[in-house]
């Protein structure tokens, strides 16, 4: 990801991403999420490392965030070396009023969830368009290729409409960093995210789904450059 890619994004994303970076202190081990909004966080942390002597270690959630963190000069570590993180910062595709979130638009939600649950504090950065009264976006579900047909059958029994995410007709299915497929599942309005989360997790062959229930704070970027902070 380059500066040109990041600068093309909306200023609301920049405001939220940079504001969340101010939570980071020297000595922290920080989970670094994936996506266009948290890219601003990663770049800002890199600036602080270079210009202000910020002393941190990052744990990345995807090859995309790894490349950007390295480019930004952030020293990296792993969960094998640091099982508990001080903070994790990530984006979201949608967040409801109860602070449930849907993630996985970048097909990195399995690693994102592992990193976020490993952190003492999990912060989501988003622009105002990602906020909603209720969750109603498609839920990404990472599945073992061997189990795809079984998972599709079980998800339909739950009332979902799954579609295999395709890179293109020529290139075939999207393959995650873990070597798996992604199903995007439409459920309409999700009235009980906690219950649906449990039901999806119980299906054999599901690696992870994109419903997150562990968000502690949301930094919401506004069109005027301000940032609203919502805490659980």
What pLDDT does 89 receive?
98
3-state SS class at 128: helix
What pLDDT does 67 receive?
97
Mean of all residue pLDDT scores within the chain = 94
Give CA–CA dist 141/183, Å, rounded: 5
Give 141's strand partners: 183, 209
3-state SS class at 134: coil
What pLDDT does 232 receive?
84
Give CA–CA dist 54/46, Å, rounded: 9
3-state SS class at 196: helix
3-state secondary structure labels for all residues of 20-76: HHCCCCCCCEEEECCCHHHHHHHHHHHHHHHHHCCCCEEEECCHHHHHHHHHHCCCE
What pLDDT does 170 receive?
81
What pLDDT does 27 receive?
98
DSSP 223: T
H helix intervals, 119-183? 148-157
What pLDDT does 9 receive?
56
Give CA–CA dist 47/45, Å, rounded: 5
Give CA–CA dist 26/136, Å, rounded: 38
The catalytic site residues sit at 112
Nearest to residue 89, comparing CAs of 150, 28, 131, 42? 42
Find the angle CA(3)-CA(124)-CA(21) to the nearest 5 degrees.
Answer: 55
DSSP 131: B
Binned average pLDDT, 10 residues per bin, the chain of 232 residues: 47 96 98 96 98 98 96 98 98 97 96 98 96 97 98 98 91 94 98 98 98 98 93 89
Domains in the chain, ordered, with CATH?
Answer: 3-133+213-225 (3.40.50.1360), 139-209 (3.30.70.260)
Give CA–CA dist 56/80, Å, rounded: 17
H helix intervals, the chain? 3-7, 11-21, 36-52, 63-72, 109-118, 148-157, 193-201
């Amino acid at each position: 990801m380059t500066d040109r890619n990041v600068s093309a994004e909306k200023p609301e994303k920049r405001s939220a991403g940079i504001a969340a970076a101010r939570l980071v202190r020297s000595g922290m081990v920080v989970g670094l999420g994936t996506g266009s909004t948290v890219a601003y966080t990663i770049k800002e942390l890199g600036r602080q490392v270079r210009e202000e002597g910020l002393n941190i270690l990052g744990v990345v959630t995807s090859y995309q965030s790894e490349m950007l963190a390295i480019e930004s000069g952030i020293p990296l570590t792993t969960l094998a070396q640091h099982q508990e993180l001080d903070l994790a910062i990530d984006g979201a595709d949608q967040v409801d009023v109860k602070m449930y979130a849907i993630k996985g638009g970048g097909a990195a939600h399995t690693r994102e969830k592992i990193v976020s649950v490993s952190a003492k504090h999990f912060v989501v950065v988003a622009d105002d368009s990602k906020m909603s009264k209720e969750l109603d976006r498609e839920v990404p579900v990472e599945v073992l290729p061997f189990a795809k047909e079984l998972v599709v059958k079980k998800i339909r029994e739950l009332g979902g409409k799954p579609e295999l995410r395709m890179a293109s007709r020529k290139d075939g299915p999207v393959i995650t960093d873990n070597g798996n497929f992604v199903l995007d599942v439409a459920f309409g309005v999700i009235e009980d995210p906690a219950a649906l989360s449990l039901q999806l997790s119980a299906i054999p062959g599901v690696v992870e789904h994109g419903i997150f229930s562990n968000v502690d704070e949301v930094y919401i970027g506004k069109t005027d450059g301000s940032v609203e902070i919502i805490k659980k």
